[in-house]
Each structure stands twice: as C-alpha cells, then as structure tokens.
Amino acid sequence: MDAPINLLNYLKSKTQVDVDSLDNEELGPFVDCTSNQMDAYHELLKPNHAALIKKSAALAGEIGREYPEVTREELAFEISMVRLAQTIVPNITGAILVMPDFDMTRMIVKVPSTWEGLQACRELKGLGVKTLGTTVFTLEQAVLAAEAGCIYVSPFLNELKATMDPTYHDSSPIFGVCTDIQRYYEQHCHTTRVKACAAVSVEQILQLAGVAAFTATADQLRELSSMKEPAADVMARSVFLGSATREHANGNANGHVNGDTNGHTNGDYNMKLEKLSFVDDESKYRLAFAKSDGGKGQLKTSQALNMFCEYQIKGEAMMKDADMTVIG
C-alpha cells in the first residue's frame, strides 16, 4: 500500500494552486490570488480593517473629482479592494488583481464572460492589459474568451449560490465542461489556461487535480494541508489523471462524472473536439450559448453576476458610513 501523502502537496504537484482570499494570514506561498466583491465585503467586515476603510474613503473623497462618472462610495470600495490585495503580495508568486504602484506584468483584470465582457477583453489585449474571463459555465464562453485573448478562463464548477449557501445543492457540477475546455485549448493550440474554481468540497477539488490551475478558498486549503491519503487512491479520483477518466467515469457509458450530465465527453482525452469560432459573429455566439446544456449555463452566469452585483452594492453601502472628508 502506498504511503500517505499530504493532499495539498499532492495537488500542487498536479495543478497550479491559487488562493481565493483577501486574508493575508493564510497558508502560502501560492501562485495567483483571485478575489471578488463577496470576498472583499466579508474581509472588510473584520474590525482590523477599520483603518483601511477610513483611509480608502478619505482617498476617494480626495480624488473623487477626477472620476465624475463614479460615486464616491463606489470609488472607495474599489480602493479598499486594491489595498486588501496589496496585503496579499508576500504570499503570492504570480498574478494579483489590479495593483497600482506594483509590477504591472502581474496584473490581471477579471471580466465577466458575457458577449460584451469578452469583447472588452479583446480591446484590452490590444492595450496590453491581461484579462481573465470569469463566470464561465460553458465551452462556448471559453472558446470566445480564448479568441478574445484572455490569459485565463475560470469555469465555476458549481453555481455560485452553492458556494455561499450550504443548504443549496447544484445538481450538475460541470466537471465535463472543465475537461472539455482544457482539451479544446490543447487540441486547437490556444494559450489561454483553465483556472477552475467554485468547488464546494475538498473531494471536488481532488477530482480536478490535473487542471491547469485551481482557485481554492482558505478553508479548503487548510483542510487539504491537514489531510493525508495514499497517492494511488487520490489520483484515481481525478477526472484528468485517474480511473475516472480512463474508464469513462467508472463504467458510465455516457462518460459523465459525479453528476455532470451535460453531455460532455470528459472520458477520452483523444476525442477530437470541433474547432469553433464566435468572436466576429454575435448572433452565432448568443444562439450557441443560449442552447448550451439546455440554457443552464446562461442561467448560472446570470445568477453569478447578480450575486456579485449584490455584494458590490453592499460594499458601497459600507463606505457611506466611512469618513469621506477630503484630506488636507
């Protein structure tokens, strides 16, 4: 029997491990750091960030006249997220989001994977700005993101709601979409990399060992670092590396893995995927996206964007109570 191995070390040997947290007292180092409005809002609720909020609000009051189209509260929340990100630098060796007064080669802008968002990524690439297409739930979004020049795409394994509400269960996590995207990029020579996220358990993360990159929460990373299992047992669970891949999901003739009934062919990495193109045909893209998986991907994308908007509003409301007095 194989000697037990540490699960976090095992995962790092198979996949780029990134952290989804703005708490600077986490395990590290990791490669990239990603975050969003929900992460920022919950982190800013901690009492130790009271001074950061006040300074961010004061700076927003000072420079607000330079951004007349943006409310002071929105500007203050954005500044506070940048300052939180700056505290993560010692734990990160790779990319960090929007870092002023920092090495700009490490900046990657997260953009929603809508038609409009990914066309914006196309424009940003022309300006030399690196982007990540987030809220990806379909192969069609990933194809358009690659054509638009995104450095990464982030397929959400589960609906965003499932990561926030422990009583809610996503009945169709997109394991097959994750494997299809990575295989499609490899087969058609796209340099865009898959950075999966939104697992609801350590078990789901281990099933994605072998994906190019994975973003895990701080709690998930702590759990992985505290666990040991035999290497062969762990590898056998991966949809990229183990028997779940080789045996088409342990005998399931449709090749689905752990509830992924989306019709994707994650069982055979040699199966050729048709080359697609959407970047210059909005109607073609919208139709394909709407039809993908019976419309589930479109619904999940809209749900995620609505939740992020909700926390953006909460963050701005938090800033209303902060001191926005113009400095000096």
Residues 63 and 155: their CA atoms lie apart, in Å, by 36
Given the residues 12, 46, 55, 110, the one annotated as active site: 110
Three-state SS for the chain is CCCEEEHHHHHHHHCEEEEECCCCCCCCCECCEECCHHHHHHHHCCHHHHHHHHHHHHHHHHHHHHCCCCCHHHHHHHHHHHHHHHCCHHHECCCECCCCCCCHHHECEEEECCHHHHHHHHHHHHCCCCEEEEEECCHHHHHHHHHHCCCEEEEECCCHHHHHCCCCCCCCCCHHHHHHHHHHHHHCCCCCEEEEECCCCHHHHHHCECECEEEECHHHHHHHHCCEEEHHHHHCCCCCCCHHHHCHHHHCCCCCCCCCCCCCCCCCCCCCCCCCCCCCCHHHHHHHHHHHHHHHHHHHHHHHHHHHHHHHHHHHHHHHCCCCCCCC
* CB of 283 closer than 8 Å to CB of 195: no
Per the annotation, the verdict on 275 as an active-site residue is no
* CB of 204 closer than 8 Å to CB of 173: yes
Residues 22 and 82: their CA atoms lie apart, in Å, by 10
Catalytic residue ranges: 110
